[in-house]
Amino acid sequence: MDRFDGRRALITGAGSGIGRATAHRILAEGGRVVAVDVDEAGLAATAERAAADGTAGRLETARLDIADEAAVRSGTAAAVDRLGGLDVLVNAAGILRSAHTHATTLEFFERIVSVNLTGTFLMIREALPALLAGRAPVIVNFSSTSASFAHPYMAAYAASKGGIQAMTHAIAAEYSRQGLRAVCVAPGSIASNMTTGRGPGLPEDADMSLFTKLVPALGQGFAGPETVAGVIAMLASEDGAFITGTEIRIDGGTHM
């Protein structure tokens, strides 16, 4: 299946987890990808996997901190130049942190918002001119089940993801007449670097009984990041051509 033959994608957070899985999925379907992340070692691992898969010729990697406005401006321009244009932007980069809300410092709150929400905005703003000149352009943003369902100790994270969800609706409406689609995925119960061990660093005295639903209704335990990557590939291809201005929850029925 070559749904991405000739399509050009810029993927943030591609040094691990869902971002990496998405890069490999789009490469496997014929796309060209610039994969960016702050984690250079992670990007090297992404490139090694592409070499093993025989797709390295269509992958380039670059370090990029999405919370740095100047870096986003220059990094996005460089990615567009390497690809010769842009058709797909996947904003997978983000951080997950937890704390008691009464103990949350302004610095803690602003750091989460600056990476997750502001970073996503910066990537969209800088990529929009190239996307609007591209073919069947699509933006896929990352919300979270925390934006719609109670996740204790994650007020800052939930706020950042709720903001992304609302922003996606606004962008979808604003640029719909120009052929741009903007959609969100809202993962939950997905195994990644964010969710291993104690996951988002829950407080030592966290009351786990507050998490009323932790287990997906489907299958056993958390799903792998490739589960979300498959949905993103659908959304960013012609198979998702009638989907915009909405979010798709991917959690195996955890929050039914």
Q: Is residue 208 part of a domain?
A: yes
Q: Are strands 88-91 and 138-142 parallel, antiparallel or unpaired?
A: parallel
Q: Is residue 25 part of a domain?
A: yes
Helix crossing, 119-132 with 69-83: angle to 10°? 30
Coil vs helix vs strand at 182: strand
- Number of C-beta neighbours around residue 10 at 10 A: 29
Q: Is residue 3 part of a domain?
A: no
Burial (CB count within 10 angstroms: exposed 0-12, middle 13-18, buried 19+), residue 209 = exposed
Specify the pLDDT at position 178.
Answer: 98
Q: Is residue 2 part of a domain?
A: no
Model confidence pLDDT, tens digit, residues 20-47: 999 999 999 999 999 999 999 999 999 9
How confident is the model over 191-195, as a mean pLDDT? 62
DSSP code at position 222 = P
Domain containing residue 64: CATH number: 3.40.50.720
Percent of the chain residues topping a pLDDT of 70 = 94
Q: Is residue 72 part of a domain?
A: yes
Q: Is residue 76 part of a domain?
A: yes
Q: Is residue 63 part of a domain?
A: yes
Decide if pLDDT at 2 tops 60.
Answer: yes
Q: What is the CA radius of gyration of the chain?
A: 17
Specify the pLDDT at position 208.
Answer: 84
Q: Are strands 181-187 and 247-250 parallel, antiparallel or unpaired?
A: parallel
The overall average pLDDT reported for the chain is 93
Specify the pLDDT at position 36.
Answer: 98
What is the Cα–Cα distance from 85 to 81, expressed in whole angstroms?
Answer: 7
Specify the pLDDT at position 196.
Answer: 53
Quick one: pLDDT band at residue 219, thresholds 50, 70, 90? low
How confident is the model over 142-154, as a mean pLDDT? 91
Kindly list the distances between the CA atom of residue 121 and the CA atoms of 58, 112, 139, 160, 210, in Å, as whole numbers in the listed order. Answer: 26, 13, 11, 11, 32
Q: Residue 222 phi/psi, 5° resolution?
A: -75, 150
Q: Is residue 255 part of a domain?
A: no
Give bridge partners of residue 49 from the DSSP assignment.
none
Specify the pLDDT at position 199.
Answer: 54
Decide if pLDDT at 209 tops 90.
Answer: no
Decide if pLDDT at 91 tops 80.
Answer: yes
CB 220 within 8 A of CB 254: no
Specify the pLDDT at position 221.
Answer: 75
What is the Cα–Cα distance from 146 to 88, expressed in whole angstroms?
Answer: 25
Specify the pLDDT at position 256.
Answer: 80
Model confidence pLDDT, tens digit, residues 93-126: 999 999 999 999 999 999 999 999 999 999 999 9
Quick one: pLDDT band at residue 200, thresholds 50, 70, 90? low
Q: Which residues are marked as active site?
A: 157
Q: In this predicted model, which residue has the larger pLDDT, 90 or 202?
A: 90
Give the CA count within 13 Å in the CB-facing half-sphere of 233.
Answer: 25
Lowest-pLDDT choice from 62-71, 88-97, 164-173, 189-198: 189-198
Specify the pLDDT at position 140.
Answer: 98
How confident is the model over 85-98, as a mean pLDDT? 97
Decide if pLDDT at 223 tops 90.
Answer: no
Domain that holds residue 15: 8-250
Nearest to 114 by CA among 57, 164, 42, 54: 164
- pTM of the predicted model as reported, rounded to 2 decimal places: 0.94
Q: Structural domain tally of the chain?
A: 1
